[in-house]
């Protein structure tokens, strides 16, 4: 068996692929020199978990009040602020030559919140559970098995040279083994804090896990998270209810600073994707109409008006985030005259009215984005309205007709590695690509299969760039662009950061000074 192995000695050679092996207490978490133990942080969260309406059992990681599951749980791997993969519950990983079979070595000495030692059977049960439900793991994993006293083995459905990133996603947490319909519902994990109580849609209280596997961590005695949408976040920060707020409104940075806060801005963040279903007789089934849409939207105006020039980026109609080294900008960002010409070629010389796109507000600035889109499209003769729906049940609503594509809608896209990001426009994921089919779609799928089965980093990156150029031409969906996640905190709160992957935020190194 030919092995890809992650070790401290090989970290430098594998750095360009993101396969690093620094422990979670190395430089990635370097803090002020004299952290103090004790105290409590109460954070406001403007971005609730999209799955809240699907269960009233909020102690499960899937239905946790927000997506910041690293407060209570751990995954096999973790992705840092530069989108590089690191060990977490796993200490190393290796694959066969075909990158289709992967083995992870599991950290020893990890205990659950109830004091029971975590075993390889818990890890296998957790991973098998994730592989059995819809998500990134299920799309990739054929089976999971125990490969020794401290190893878990994954057999993939197809080769994937970047599989370790998959196991870092916020849902893929380690839980005590239990029946498939019971696993995870005890609220027990291996993370730095353990649950006291949770109000599924409002708040959660946690206390220090004294048996946490990371030496000396966490520093805080207590952590509380509170859902605070709209003005509730800044009002809570001003009043002292919160000493930190995740995902603040970018239009309120000055207000947080005036209230005695500091603001940390991440290198990237979530993007706003407009899904264009193609399973009905829609005008945008014609590629020229999709191209006109892409050319008419003033994405730079979104940055300028909503974020400021440096606090967002313009999307390239792929899921690749703007800070990724393989990101390829669109060759022309806006050309209204060309958009009008394309519409005329498609049979709409006097303009076109497109179906309503539905959305639910996830980040506080989102309702300010869509009027800019509507007005910029109007300049090219395109009429497109946006309609807001409640967050509770939104996913079910947008998929309720014409499944699996559903209604025209906004999908929120978090930054991930290229293998996951570019998979989201393949035929295997029809909802976000809007049911895109045809020769170009088939070509894209073939390029994707070639890319993720390629061990050579440079060759894989070359294919990824070619795939983005194909999306520039075909525009199966519109990616408006991205935000940079922002976190505000009082000056006596140390070690708190905004993470490009909102859900990968960590809590064990936060302390009160």
CB within 8 A of 425, min separation 6: which ones? 318, 319, 432, 433, 436, 444, 471, 476, 477
Pairing between β-strand 40-45 and β-strand 222-227 as defined by DSSP bridges: parallel
Same domain, 453 and 498: no
Residue 38: pLDDT over 80? yes
Exposure string over 73-107, b if 16+ CB within 10 A, otherwise e: bbbbbbbbbebbbbbbbbbbbbbeeebbbbbbbbb
The residue among 188, 208, 237 that closes a domain is 188
With cut-offs at 50, 70 and 90, classify the pLDDT of residue 395.
confident
CB within 8 A of 116, min separation 6: which ones? 176
pLDDT tens for 222-276 read 999 999 988 999 999 999 999 999 999 999 999 999 999 999 999 889 999 999 9
Mean pLDDT calculated for residue range 492-510: 95
With cut-offs at 50, 70 and 90, classify the pLDDT of residue 52.
confident
pLDDT for residue 487: 97
| Greatest pairwise CA separation for the chain in angstroms | 70
Mean pLDDT calculated for residue range 497-503: 93
Residue 386: pLDDT over 70? yes
- Contact, 122 vs 177, CB < 8 A? yes
What CATH number does residue 511 fall under? 3.40.190.10
Same domain, 323 and 303: yes
pLDDT for residue 309: 62
Percent of the chain with pLDDT over 90: 80
- Contact, 163 vs 99, CB < 8 A? yes
Q: Residue 463's domain spans which residues?
A: 271-483
187: left (phi over 0), alpha (psi -120 to 50) or beta: left
Same domain, 427 and 339: yes
* Pair of tokens at residue 511: 């302390």
The residue among 188, 212, 242 that closes a domain is 188
Residue 163: pLDDT over 60? yes
Same domain, 288 and 366: yes
Mean pLDDT calculated for residue range 463-472: 98
pLDDT tens for 133-150 read 988 899 899 999 999 999
Residue 380: pLDDT over 90? yes
Number of domains in the chain: 3
Same domain, 479 and 386: yes
Same domain, 369 and 309: yes
The residue among 188, 210, 239 that closes a domain is 188
Mean pLDDT calculated for residue range 495-502: 94
Cβ neighbours around 3 below 10 Å, total = 9
Lowest mean pLDDT among 27-36, 165-174, 276-285, 416-425: 27-36
Residue 427: pLDDT over 70? yes
pLDDT for residue 460: 97
3-class DSSP state for residue 165?
helix
pLDDT for residue 51: 81
Torsion of CA 363, 28, 165, 78, to 10 degrees: -80
Percent of the chain with pLDDT over 70: 93
Same domain, 236 and 161: no
Residue 220: pLDDT over 80? yes
Same domain, 445 and 427: yes
pTM (2 d.p.) = 0.85
pLDDT tens for 71-87 read 999 999 999 998 999 99
In 166-322 the beta strands, taken as DSSP E runs, fall at: 193-199, 203-208, 222-227, 244-246, 261-265, 271-275, 312-314
Mean pLDDT calculated for residue range 496-507: 95
pLDDT for residue 267: 87
Mean pLDDT calculated for residue range 395-411: 86
* Pair of tokens at residue 278: 């193609």
- Top-confidence residue, 471 or 56: 471
Same domain, 4 and 103: yes
Residue 20: pLDDT over 60? no
Same domain, 383 and 491: no
Same domain, 13 and 142: yes
- Top-confidence residue, 49 or 331: 331
Same domain, 513 and 466: no
- Top-confidence residue, 492 or 47: 492
CB within 8 A of 412, min separation 6: which ones? 50, 270, 271, 272, 273, 362, 363
Residue 369: pLDDT over 60? yes
pLDDT for residue 16: 26
With cut-offs at 50, 70 and 90, classify the pLDDT of residue 402.
confident
Return d(Cα 237, Cα 323) in angstroms, integer.
30
What CATH number does residue 101 fall under? 3.90.76.10
Mean pLDDT calculated for residue range 170-193: 96
With cut-offs at 50, 70 and 90, classify the pLDDT of residue 21.
very low
Average pLDDT of every residue of the chain: 90
């Amino acid at each position: 068996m030919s092995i890809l192995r992650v070790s401290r000695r090989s970290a430098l050679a594998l750095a360009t692929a993101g396969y690093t092996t620094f422990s979670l207490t190395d430089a990635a978490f370097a803090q002020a020199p004299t952290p103090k133990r004790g105290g409590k942080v109460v954070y406001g969260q403007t971005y609730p978990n999209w799955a809240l309406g699907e269960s009233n059992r909020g102690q499960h990681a899937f239905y946790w009040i927000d997506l910041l599951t690293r407060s209570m749980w751990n995954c096999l791997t973790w992705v840092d602020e530069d989108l590089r993969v690191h060990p977490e519950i796993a200490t190393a990983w290796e694959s066969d030559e075909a990158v289709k079979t992967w083995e992870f070595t599991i950290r020893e000495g990890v205990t659950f919140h109830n004091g029971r030692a975590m075993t390889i059977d818990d890890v296998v049960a957790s991973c098998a559970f994730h592989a059995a439900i819809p998500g990134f793991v299920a799309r990739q994993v054929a089976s999971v098995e125990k490969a020794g006293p401290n190893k878990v083995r994954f057999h993939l459905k197809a080769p994937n040279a970047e599989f370790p990133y998959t196991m870092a996603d916020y849902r893929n947490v380690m839980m005590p083994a239990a029946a498939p319909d019971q696993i995870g519902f005890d609220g027990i994990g291996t993370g730095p804090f353990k649950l006291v109580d949770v109000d599924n849609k409002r708040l959660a209280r946690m206390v220090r896990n004294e048996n946490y596997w990371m030496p000396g961590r966490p520093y805080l005695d207590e952590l509380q998270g509170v859902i605070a949408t709209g003005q509730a976040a800044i009002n809570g920060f001003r009043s002292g209810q919160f000493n930190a707020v995740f995902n603040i409104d970018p239009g309120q940075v000055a207000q947080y600073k005036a209230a005695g806060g500091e603001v940390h801005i991440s290198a990237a963040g979530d993007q706003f994707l407009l899904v264009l279903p193609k399973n009905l007789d829609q005008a945008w089934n014609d590629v020229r109409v999709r191209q006109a849409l892409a050319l008419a939207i003033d994405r730079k105006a979104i940055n300028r008006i909503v974020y400021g020039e440096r606090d967002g980026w313009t999307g390239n109609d792929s899921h690749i985030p703007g800070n990724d080294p393989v990101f390829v900008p669109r060759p022309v960002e806006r050309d209204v005259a060309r958009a009008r010409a394309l519409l005329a070629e498609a049979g709409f010389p006097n303009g076109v009215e497109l179906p309503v796109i539905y959305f639910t507000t996830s980040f506080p600035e989102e309702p300010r984005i869509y009027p800019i889109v509507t007005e910029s499209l109007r300049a090219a003769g395109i009429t497109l309205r946006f309609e807001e729906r409640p967050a509770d049940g939104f996913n079910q609503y947008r998929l309720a007709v014409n499944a699996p594509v559903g209604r025209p809608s906004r999908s929120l896209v978090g930054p991930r590695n290229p293998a996951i990001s570019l998979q989201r426009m393949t035929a295997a994921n029809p909802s976000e690509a809007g049911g895109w089919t045809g020769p170009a779609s088939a070509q894209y799928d073939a390029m994707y299969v070639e890319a993720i089965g390629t061990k050579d980093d440079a060759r894989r990156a070359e294919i990824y760039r070619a795939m983005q150029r194909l999306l520039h031409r075909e525009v199966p969906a519109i990616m408006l662009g991205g935000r940079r996640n922002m976190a505000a905190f009082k000056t006596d709160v140390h070690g708190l950061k905004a993470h490009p992957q909102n859900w990968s935020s960590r809590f064990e190194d936060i302390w009160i000074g």
